[in-house]
Structure 1
Amino acid sequence: MIRVLVVDDEALVRSGLRLILEAAGDISVIGEARDGAEAVSAVGRLRPEVVLMDVRMPVMDGLTAAGRILLDPQAPKVIMLTTFDVDEYVHAALRLGAVGFLLKDTPPRELAAAVRTVADGQAMLSPSVTKRVIAQYADRAPSRAEAARRQLDGLTGREGDVIKALARGLSNAEIGRELRLTEATVKAHVSRVLAKLGLANRVQAAILVHDADLH
């Protein structure tokens, strides 16, 4: 069972998310929190594998809570929840190490699939949603773009191809088809690229490519 903590200031939303996730059969909601402060405490106490975290909450917002939770090397995967398809706070959360975000009206099957995806160690990079946030809110000041390009200069040509495809929201299988590589080879390239760049996940790699304006 995948252990999930649900964090939202609205009891009705928490109840709805619990019902959807537990109906999946392989997901267990082990706890709920009403704000970021409760979430930080609950993560330390319950040790969930995945946290579904609302962005905007009283007492402590989701961004602040995600930043604190993700400082722990053994931190759970954090998915941000939002009512809006573009939210400036989400981009900051991705930079902190959140693996992506979902709209609160995400269909039940997609919500459960997203939890499974991140629990399996993969980041969610939805071309239709996450990339819009990256594109709209990435700070592309010349100094940042130059620094990002310098960081990417250390990659080989093939690694550069892989990270650019990754930034477009392609899965390992899709990248493999495009670059004529096996999925296992793509996975190895992705792991090597993340290690070289000192990045936590695919979402941070995509942000770096957007910062460099190379997408």
Structure 2
Amino acid sequence: MELRIMLVEDQTVVREGLRQLMESDPELKVVGEAATVAEAVAQAGRLRPDVILLDLKLPDGSGLDAARQILKGSDPPAIIVLSTYGDAALVKSALALGASGYIPKTASFAEIASAVRTAAQGGVVIHPSLAGKLAGRGDEELREEEIAMLRLLAEGASYAEIGLRLYLSERTVRRHMNLLFEKMGVQNRTQAVAEAMRRGVLN
């Protein structure tokens, strides 16, 4: 299956290099490029890519602003932050917004391509060089929509059923749940429900 990729990067040389790397893989197709927050939001809505590789430092604002706007859309693409900045607060902010991954620009092409495939399938990717900075994420406060998903999980609802109840696609639910598991420090549905009960959020 061919994956549709969009690149958001203000440095032309980096963007062109990424395009060449992506298109060296027959399963990856770059369908659009953007150099600003405004271009990223407009093109994401028009092109509807599967995955966006997103730089954080853009001329008209932060890539996080672009991610926030893009992820508000219906059935949004997976977003992987590709940045030179590996600060734990930035990584956590990106994941809290709903980004599907955070990869340093020093990562190999194989790592980036693997992250793209994982994100497209609803997974979450944190580069090993950043994983250690995220210790303790399991105590983060849960948002209202996350608690709603956990309640439905506790009722035994499937991802498809959760999507119907919350007016989301199954792919979007899967992505949100993977991010939620990461946030709670759990591995699966059963652990997530048990942890939610421990926290008292299902009362």
TM-score by length of 1: 0.66
User: Which letter maps to 1:15?
Assistant: E
Query: Stretches of 4+ moved more than 6 A in 1?
Result: 153-156
Distance in 2 of aligned mates of 1:73 and 1:132: 33
Between stretches 106-115 and 87-96, larger displacement belongs to 87-96
Shift of 1:154: 7.4
Distance in 1 of aligned mates of 2:45 and 2:31: 13
Instruction: Determine the structure 2 residue equivalent to 1:70.
Output: 71
Shift of 1:90: 2.6
Shift of 1:119: 1.4
1:12 aligns with 2:13: yes
Instruction: Determine the structure 1 residue equivalent to 2:121.
Output: 120
Identical aligned residues as a percent? 32
Whether contact under 8 Å (1:123, 1:201) holds in the other structure is no
Deviations 1:80-102 (A, max 9, x none): 01113335223111001101111
SS of 1:48's partner is coil
Instruction: Determine the structure 2 residue equivalent to 1:135.
Output: 135
Instruction: Determine the structure 1 residue equivalent to 2:112.
Output: 111
User: Which letter maps to 2:86?
Assistant: D
Shift of 1:69: 0.5
Instruction: Determine the structure 1 residue equivalent to 2:4.
Output: 3
TM-score by length of 2: 0.70
7 and 123 in structure 1: CA distance in 2 versus 1, 3 angstrom threshold: same
Distance in 1 of aligned mates of 2:72 and 2:10: 23
1:207 aligns with 2:183: yes
Instruction: Determine the structure 1 residue equivalent to 2:48.
Output: 47
User: Which letter maps to 1:8?
Assistant: E
Q: CA RMSD in A?
A: 3.5
User: Which letter maps to 1:41?
Assistant: A
Distance in 1 of aligned mates of 2:88 and 2:8: 17
Number of equivalent positions: 172
45 and 133 in structure 1: CA distance in 2 versus 1, 3 angstrom threshold: farther
Distance in 1 of aligned mates of 2:26 and 2:47: 20
